[in-house]
Chain A
Amino acid sequence: MSHDAQTGGGPVDPIPPEARTANLELWNHWTKVHEKSAFYDVEGFKAGTTSLWPLELEELGLYVREGTTLLHLQCHFGLDTLSWARLGAEVVGLDLSDEAIALARRLADEVGLSGRAEFICADLYAADAHLGERRFDVVFVSWGAIEWLPDLERWAGIIARHLEPGGTFYMAEIHPFGYALDEVPGEHDVQVKYRLQPAPDTPEVEPIEGSYADRDADTTGLVAYGWQHSLAEVTGALIGAGLRIEHLHEFPTSPAPSWDWMVKDEDRWWWLPAPDGGLRKDLPLSYSVRATRPWTEGG
């Protein structure tokens, strides 16, 4: 494999310039909104709570202990990254937003985790140039990350190159089916609205109304460029990069509401309501994948 071709001066960034500009502007703006949001609960984090979901702690926590090195790709302003650091990990968070990385560094200082947390401001596809030959025990990706990426083969290549042999990759994400849903007009029900097969060359371009963390936030003029991905595409990219899939789990819950009529449970998960007043458990809204980098190539 020619690693050199992937680093500085390598292939053209798969993110079109207009998409990069729009998404960077959006994430810089959202960072300011999110810092003050109840959804992210920064005060709670400062007081000692974890921002990680019980799901992540249960499925990945086993692989993170004192001294584990962990790379968090697309880390936003680092709450989850720092929550892994609090569990003993030596963490590196990477995000495209300079506002988010500045906030992450301030937070790390404030809670006394600077010694074990490093934050890098970089586009995902430029990660190799910043990480060099560094390898980690764990690479972590979560919730609404890959929708910002057109090319998952290059994404998976970055993951594989920065994982130690025997290391663990873990992602918890919004389900492709959840992304494809829209509300039935006038009803508290959903139908398939968006494509379910990936289209790397045609991003969905959507005006932004508020934020998943604060629906009332003023986001006038902001636009997002996103890409739909399928489970075949995600698993295929990881397998193609040499990783071995260890689990694929699917859940009827979402970490954030897509519509204001969704229902939040006591564990912060959001559900579609059932017509009888209960919760709909029949549709997939999220999933997780764990994969390992084999000790030997092809092994």
Chain B
Amino acid sequence: MLDDFLRANLASWDEAVGLHVDSDLYDVAGFKAGGTSLSEIELGELGPLVGERTSLLHLQCHFGLDTLSWARQGAIVTGVDFSGEGIKTARALAAEVGLSRRATFVQSDVESLPDKLSGSFDVVFTSWGALIWLGDLERWAAVIDHFLKPGGTVYIAEFHPYAFLLADDATPDSLRIGYPYFQYGVPQRFDEDGDYADPDATTQHTVTFEWLHGFGEIIDPLLSRGLRLDFLHELPYTVPGLPFKFLEKDDRGMLRVKGHHEDFPLTFTLKMTKEDR
């Protein structure tokens, strides 16, 4: 069954790459002109740990914009994505901006990565809408642990579990709940035309399977592997890309819940360390 979920999601993501490369949201032209695709959130929290020659593994890297942005900060990066289209585009971008020597891209789903990649890393990074594509976070945590050097850091910047559970028609006065916090490994099936980066697009591969995860489900597998939690942060805003009607942009371009700009968390970040002992 999992393979069927993966196959449907892969078809959707392969198709999305072309749309995203041309989208305003991803702003590939801005990246090529020297801009970073990373937000102030991960730059502020992880940036100080990424210096010249830091080895960084980016899980679920899509077509590599963030991976390459870390490379521009000096890191030696490896980006991994299950989409062949994503990896092909990432390699082409790396070549075009002259970062091929410090950027490697590997086509693999997260679970299979230990079969396809060797080595270990100072930093494992994952961000923004990655975890909903994973059904089994125990396996994910094992992969992170496997690739972290002793003393290494895993950093996650993600949409908050609460960000996904409001009903589509939630309003500032009625924040009704439409989706689960706990999903117990059973995916939700969506069949939706369009794309989060281009809502007007017509897409062929419209069916996806997604898993929402609570904090315990995300953090506990990493804790039980002995990683030390350094921080868990919750922020009442997030990066653009969530297509929900109850969100609006603030004057800095971050998304917030309408009528609840300060009191409804939309982002969580966490940093954990694999202790050297």
Contact = CB atoms under 8 A, between A and B. Distances in A.
A279 interface: no
Contacts of B15: none
A192 B161 CA distance: 14
A169 interface: no
A177 B229 CA distance: 22
B215 A248 contact: yes
Q: Interface residues of B toward A: which range?
A: 20 to 34
Contact of A196 (B174, B184, B219, B264): B264
A282 B229 contact: no
B229 A245 contact: yes
A252 B268 contact: no
A248 B223 contact: yes
A239 B272 CA distance: 12
B44 interface: no
A247 B220 contact: yes
A18 B32 CA distance: 59
Nearest to B229: A245
B139 interface: no
Contact of A282 (B180, B231, B232): B180
A192 B175 contact: yes
B223 A246 contact: yes
Nearest to A284: B181
B263 A197 contact: yes
Contact of B233 (A196, A232, A248): A232
B214 A250 contact: yes
A197 B176 contact: no
Chain B binding surface SS class = mixed
Contact of A231 (B165, B181, B215, B263): B215
Interface in A182-196: 184, 189-193, 195-196
A239 B273 CA distance: 13
Contacts of B183: 282
B135 interface: no
A197 B177 CA distance: 18
A46 interface: no
B118 interface: no
A183 to B, nearest CB: 12
B234 A231 contact: yes
A282 B181 contact: yes
A199 B162 CA distance: 18
A78 to B, nearest CB: 30
8 contacts: A177-B162, A191-B174, A195-B260, A232-B232, A250-B214, A250-B215, A252-B182, A283-B182
Given A197-B263, A282-B181, 16 more contacts: A191-B176, A191-B177, A195-B264, A196-B263, A236-B232, A244-B228, A245-B223, A245-B229, A248-B216, A248-B220, A249-B220, A250-B181, A281-B184, A283-B177, A284-B181, A287-B216
